[in-house]
Amino acid sequence: MELGLVTSGDALKSVDELLPQLIEARIGSRIAAQDATIWGPAAEAESAIRLGWVNPFDAAQQLVPAILELRGQLQAEGLTRIVLCGMGGSSLAPEVIAAHDEVDLVICDTTDPAMLRPILATDLERTVVVVASKSGSTVETDSQRRAFTAAFQAAGIDPATRLVLVTDPGSPMDNPDGVRAVFNADPNVGGRYSALTAFGLVPTGLAGADIEALIEEAGLLHDVLATDDEDNLAFHLGAAMATAGRDKLVIAGVGDALPGFGDWAEQLIAESTGKDSKGVLPVVAHPGAPELRDPAADVLPLYVYDELPEEIDEEATAVHFSAPLGTSFMIFEYATAVAGYLLGISPFDQPDVEAAKVAARSLLDAPAASAPDAVDGPVELFGTSAATLAGALDELAAALPDNGYLAVQAYLDRIGDSELEGLRDALAAKTGRPVTFGWGPRFLHSTGQYHKGGPAQGVFLQLTADHREDLEIPGRPYSFGGLITAQASGDAGVLSDEKHHRPVLRVNLTDRAAGIAALLEAAK
């Protein structure tokens, strides 16, 4: 895969305008030196403990051999099915790495019982579960760990032989008792910047990915990214992200280029920049997406290639990018930090993420039930004055501002209900505005920050479903169905509260298959 980055149109104008500022302020060398003062006094305390990602190489020298040694042991025992329980940065980077290297890694990043049941019931005799949580107290991963522990015990398998933990030193999970191994990650790296730390390397390395090559790729531009000159690709990408008036970054992979990379970049950019009513909204799409056929004035297309095209339209505004995966991780991490500097925000905090978690916990303690505003066949409608699903979608679309976006939040099974992803293009064509699609609850750990902390431009379509077969969480007074319902209701409550005033339409599917078909039809 070749290395290159070309900007054109307004993106090139932004680079020409901002590049001298970045060079003069020595932003590249200061990031590499882990200078916490770059993003201003208010951000300094958080930045001081979040810049370890600029040098993942020293830790990798010790980490990679330990991972490969454990992989050899597991393979010798016939333990070849690796399941990763993780959320946000703990799962998105591993998913990209595994897809890139074409190795099997089962990603368990949900609380939907319909998705969890088959994962828990499949090939336990050859399964090892990696539980990854930076804090060690993430409610989703704690619940998943409990479920797998019970499943192993029911199958007559000692969980201590099958559980591998990845966490920060000193967290509640940093305990070797009752598990196969514990890998500590660098505590000075935030979750969304953790692709090349233990969170990215442990599950993928155990699954068979070439993590040595990944780290080698990441080092290819280490010196270039630390320089303060016009050859620094992170300066170009970061300045393009900060293009004035174009705050919707539509990311499209061309062909087979870096499958899943857009989802990882979406979390990195949205959670890092979406705060203080500012931000860059990443929209994961494809080259033929409605947003890219005739891009709106606030859209910046970003195309990811295996190889850059020989001819690029220099008049059309776009960013054209190609790099090996490890190098891509480093370039985008640096560029996002650069964009944060240019936008005047801290790229390392996430001040609005906790609000949805607090709301969900309160609903778990005291569940609240409400009657739907309308029922249309297999769907119940909440937060609308319309009597039909089509009418409710029209009403939501009418609430879109001229510079707005629509966010689809699907608290469903992203494997079994994957046809629902077609809703994104249908709604983008219907509204003429950018549409994001996030699977809940995993998006709460990524774009959820932008939804509440970024510009007040969004309207929200929340999709939930009845749980015909729920799944208990051992040792907890609530089920997985109760948990995901509380997570959806909690986030909707925060979005629509007096502080945020975001329009939210909730569509609850009483019958999943029929409800999905009705949604796709109504969105046409």
Q: Please check whether residues 94 and 238 belong to one and the same domain.
A: no
- The pLDDT score that the predictor gives to residue 299 is 98
Q: Please check whether residues 144 and 291 belong to one and the same domain.
A: no
Residue 230 corresponds to which tokens in the numbers above?
């016009």
Query: pLDDT for 304-343, tens place per residue?
Result: 999 999 999 999 999 999 999 999 999 999 999 999 999 9
3-class secondary structure for 486-524?
A: HHHHHHHHHHCCCCCCCCEEEEEECCHHHHHHHHHHHCC
Q: Please check whether residues 91 and 204 belong to one and the same domain.
A: yes
Residue 502 corresponds to which tokens in the numbers above?
């975001």
Q: Please check whether residues 154 and 134 belong to one and the same domain.
A: yes
Question: 497: which strand partners?
Answer: none
Helix, strand, coil: what percent of the chain each, to 5?
45, 15, 40
- The pLDDT score that the predictor gives to residue 364 is 85
Residue 249 · residue 269 · CB < 8 Å: yes
| Cis peptide preceding 441, ω within 30 of 0 | yes
Residue 498 — very low, low, confident or very high, per pLDDT cuts 50/70/90? confident
Last residue of a domain, which of 217, 239, 268?
217
Q: Is residue 34 part of a domain?
A: no
- The pLDDT score that the predictor gives to residue 352 is 87
Q: What is the mean pLDDT of the chain?
A: 96
DSSP structural state of residue 186: P
Q: Please check whether residues 64 and 206 belong to one and the same domain.
A: yes
Q: Which residues contact 218 (CB under 8 A, 6 or more apart)?
A: 56, 57, 196, 326, 327, 329, 330
Residue 289 · residue 426 · CB < 8 Å: no
Q: Is residue 33 part of a domain?
A: no
Last residue of a domain, which of 295, 321, 343?
343
Q: Side-chain half-sphere of 430: how many Cα atoms within 13 Å?
A: 22
Q: Please check whether residues 370 and 508 belong to one and the same domain.
A: yes
Q: Cα(189)–Cα(175) distance, rounded to whole angstroms?
A: 20
Query: pLDDT for 352-401, tens place per residue?
Result: 888 888 888 888 887 777 899 999 999 999 999 999 999 999 999 999 99
Q: Cα(185)–Cα(167) distance, rounded to whole angstroms?
A: 6
Q: Is residue 32 part of a domain?
A: no
Query: pLDDT for 400-431, tens place per residue?
Result: 999 999 999 999 999 999 999 999 999 999 99
Q: Please check whether residues 291 and 193 belong to one and the same domain.
A: no
- The pLDDT score that the predictor gives to residue 354 is 81
Q: Is residue 31 part of a domain?
A: no
Q: Please check whether residues 194 and 306 belong to one and the same domain.
A: no
Q: Is residue 222 part of a domain?
A: no
CATH at 282: 3.40.50.10490
- Determine phi and psi for 28, rounding to 5 degrees: -65, -50
Query: pLDDT for 257-279, tens place per residue?
Result: 999 999 999 999 999 999 999 99
* Tally of CB atoms within 10 A around 335: 27
| Domains identified in the chain, total number | 3
Residue 329 corresponds to which tokens in the numbers above?
């991780």
- The pLDDT score that the predictor gives to residue 360 is 85
Q: Please check whether residues 393 and 412 belong to one and the same domain.
A: yes
Q: Cα(131)–Cα(144) distance, rounded to whole angstroms?
A: 8
Question: 281: which strand partners?
Answer: 248
Query: pLDDT for 450-490, tens place per residue?
Result: 999 999 999 999 999 999 999 999 999 999 999 999 999 99
Q: What is the mean pLDDT of residues 207-225?
A: 96
Q: Is residue 330 part of a domain?
A: yes
* Tally of CB atoms within 10 A around 288: 9
- The pLDDT score that the predictor gives to residue 361 is 86
Residue 248 · residue 405 · CB < 8 Å: yes
Q: Please check whether residues 331 and 375 belong to one and the same domain.
A: no
DSSP 273-341: H-BTTB--EEEEE-TT-HHHHS--TTEEEEEE-SS--S---SSS-EEEEE--HHHHHHHHHHHHHHHHH
Q: Please check whether residues 362 and 511 belong to one and the same domain.
A: yes
Where do the DSSP E strands lie in 404-501? 405-410, 435-439, 458-465
Q: Is residue 313 part of a domain?
A: yes
- The pLDDT score that the predictor gives to residue 160 is 98
* pTM for this predicted structure: 0.97
Query: pLDDT for 72-88, tens place per residue?
Result: 999 999 999 999 999 99
DSSP structural state of residue 232: -
Q: Please check whether residues 66 and 116 belong to one and the same domain.
A: yes
Percentage of the chain modeled with pLDDT above 90: 94
Residue 131 · residue 164 · CB < 8 Å: yes
Residue 164 · residue 181 · CB < 8 Å: yes
Last residue of a domain, which of 192, 217, 242?
217
Q: At 515, is the secondary structure helix, strand, or coil?
A: helix
Quote the domain boundaries for residue 321: 4-25+227-343
